[in-house]
């Protein structure tokens, strides 16, 4: 069922908008009035069908223009999924001139949700609600990266994810957690309230000592991965319980420490990132940015749940969404907003506007 308008109404509205928008930005007549293109609409998205040969270039610039025009027209009913490059598909037409199209996926616009303690305690699945039409099945997660400037809502979102993974009752638990909090901040307080193991620095210890202790702890998880791989070698049908290693403020760990120690730390998280997928050992990393000085590139590449909070621009998204130009994506205003990408088997290269959920945090945590 279509949102807002009927299928024919959406088709006519999009054609009218593109006739006006493309025609005003082109030296040629790029309109449907003279048969330059047509529009076809379905529940999954819409197709821009150029008539070949065309008097205009069919390239990334055209794709970007169509996206910017139609994404505004479709709001607040649909969000159009922006691709890094134009998405050309074969079109089922009997005419040679119309056998190709630019395809645009769309989804109903997501809104912020409130997730109650009762919902978490009664949730017997591994699906974590993020927005009104967006859930994350943790069984499909490899690793999680959360980036954002100070005050963007990173700690709040991390507390929500940990709350959802830890559950309220044993039956609602999704994963064991091992938390590292370099600032002894809200993650440490959450762990104290929930009885979860957490490593944080002491007054007497130096940063290098703290990182050395973390590296030693991570080596134990690498051993768990190898042990589980040995079991999988004997029985490939085994499914292991999830284990999540949570590291908050990663940038605070990796700056100003000796190179040898930094390399050892990077080696541990690279191994966990590369080998943990089949054994259900995951990383959840939080940092203001994820450049090569903060984490190894391979860790960034292996993560399939990526979240950028706060100010969204080509400068802030270039590490998590390196191939994406965020121009034209409609980002909600307010704290806890940004972009999210979850590349599982169903959603490939989908980057969506994000509004993080609200939840019942333990008292004194946030």
Contact status, residue 59 vs residue 74, Cβ threshold 8 Å: no
Handedness of CA 155, 161, 167, 173 (dihedral sign): negative
Mean pLDDT of the chain: 91
**pLDDT, mean of residues 109-113:** 95
Q: Worst-scoring range by mean pLDDT, 40-44, 256-260, 288-292?
A: 256-260
* pLDDT (tens digit per residue) in 254-281: 888 899 999 999 999 999 999 999 999 9
pLDDT at 58: 92
**pLDDT, mean of residues 336-363:** 87
Domain count, the chain: 2
Distance CA 162, CA 70 (A): 37
Last residue of one domain, picked from the residues 108, 132, 156: 108
In a domain, 366, yes or no: no
Distance CA 125, CA 123 (A): 6
Same domain for 316 and 263?
A: yes
Contact status, residue 294 vs residue 251, Cβ threshold 8 Å: yes
Contact status, residue 104 vs residue 46, Cβ threshold 8 Å: yes
Same domain for 164 and 103?
A: no
Same domain for 150 and 209?
A: yes
**pLDDT, mean of residues 329-344:** 92
pLDDT at 264: 94
Same domain for 337 and 255?
A: yes
Residue 25: which pLDDT band, with cuts at 50, 70 and 90? low
Contact status, residue 37 vs residue 43, Cβ threshold 8 Å: no
15 has pLDDT over 90? yes
3-state secondary structure string across 80-110 = ECCCCCCCEEECCCCCHHHCEEEEEEEEECC
Same domain for 244 and 211?
A: yes
Distance CA 121, CA 150 (A): 31
Tell whether omega for the bond before 76 is within 30 degrees of 0, i.e. cis: yes
* pLDDT (tens digit per residue) in 182-192: 989 999 999 99
Last residue of one domain, picked from the residues 108, 128, 159: 108
Distance CA 106, CA 118 (A): 32
Same domain for 13 and 150?
A: no
Q: Which residue reads 């590349």 in tokens?
A: 343
Rounded to 5°, angle at Cα 355 from 64 and 182: 110
* pLDDT (tens digit per residue) in 213-239: 999 999 999 999 999 999 999 999 999
Last residue of one domain, picked from the residues 108, 140, 169: 108
Distance CA 150, CA 127 (A): 28
Question: CA–CA distance from 330 to each of 42, 76, 317 (Å)?
Answer: 22, 10, 15
Residue 343 domain boundaries: 114-359
Same domain for 127 and 265?
A: yes
Distance CA 159, CA 286 (A): 11
> What percent of the chain lies above the pLDDT cut of 70?
96
Burial of 154 (0-12, 13-18, 19+ CB in 10 A): buried
Residue 59: which pLDDT band, with cuts at 50, 70 and 90? very high
348 has pLDDT over 70? no
Question: CA–CA distance from 341 to each of 7, 59, 259, 338 (Å)?
Answer: 28, 25, 32, 11
Tokens for 166, please give them. 């830890």
74 has pLDDT over 90? yes
In a domain, 232, yes or no: yes
87 has pLDDT over 90? yes
Tokens for 252, please give them. 């605070």
202 has pLDDT over 90? no
pLDDT at 337: 97
Q: Which residue reads 């025609």 in tokens?
A: 23
Distance CA 246, CA 228 (A): 20
């Amino acid at each position: 069922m279509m949102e807002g308008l009927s299928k024919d109404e959406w088709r006519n509205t999009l054609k009218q908008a593109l006739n006006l928008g493309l025609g005003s930005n082109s030296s040629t007549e790029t309109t449907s009035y003279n048969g330059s293109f047509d529009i076809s609409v379905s529940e999954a998205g819409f197709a821009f069908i150029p008539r070949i040969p065309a008097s205009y270039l069919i390239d990334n610039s055209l794709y970007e223009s169509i996206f910017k025009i139609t994404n505004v027209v479709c709001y607040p009913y649909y969000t159009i999924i922006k691709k890094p490059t134009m998405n050309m598909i074969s079109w089922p037409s009997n005419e040679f001139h119309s056998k190709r199209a630019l395809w645009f996926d769309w989804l109903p616009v997501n809104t912020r949700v409130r997730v109650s303690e009762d919902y978490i305690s009664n949730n017997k699945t591994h699906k974590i609600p993020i927005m009104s039409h967006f859930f994350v099945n943790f069984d499909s997660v490899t690793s999680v990266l959360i980036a954002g400037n100070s005050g963007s809502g990173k700690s709040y979102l991390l507390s929500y994810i940990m709350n959802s993974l830890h559950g309220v009752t044993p039956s609602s638990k999704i994963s064991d957690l091992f938390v590292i909090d370099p600032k002894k901040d809200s993650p440490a307080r959450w762990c104290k309230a929930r009885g979860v193991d957490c490593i944080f620095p002491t007054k007497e210890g130096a940063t290098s000592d703290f990182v050395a202790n973390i590296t030693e702890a991570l080596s134990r998880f690498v051993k768990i991965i190898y042990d589980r791989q040995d079991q999988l070698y004997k029985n490939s049908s085994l499914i292991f319980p999830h284990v999540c290693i949570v590291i908050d403020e990663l940038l605070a760990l990796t700056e100003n420490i000796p190179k040898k120690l930094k390399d050892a730390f990077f080696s541990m998280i690279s191994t966990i990132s590369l080998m943990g997928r089949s054994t259900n050992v995951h990383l959840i990393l939080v940092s203001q940015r994820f450049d090569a000085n903060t984490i190894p590139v391979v860790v960034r590449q292996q993560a399939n749940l990526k979240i950028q909070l706060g100010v969204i621009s080509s400068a802030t998204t270039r590490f998590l969404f390196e191939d994406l130009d965020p121009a034209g994506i409609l980002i909600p205003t307010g704290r806890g907003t940004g972009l999210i990408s979850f590349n599982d088997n169903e959603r490939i290269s989908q980057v969506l506007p994000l509004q993080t959920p609200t939840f019942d945090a333990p008292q004194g945590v946030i």
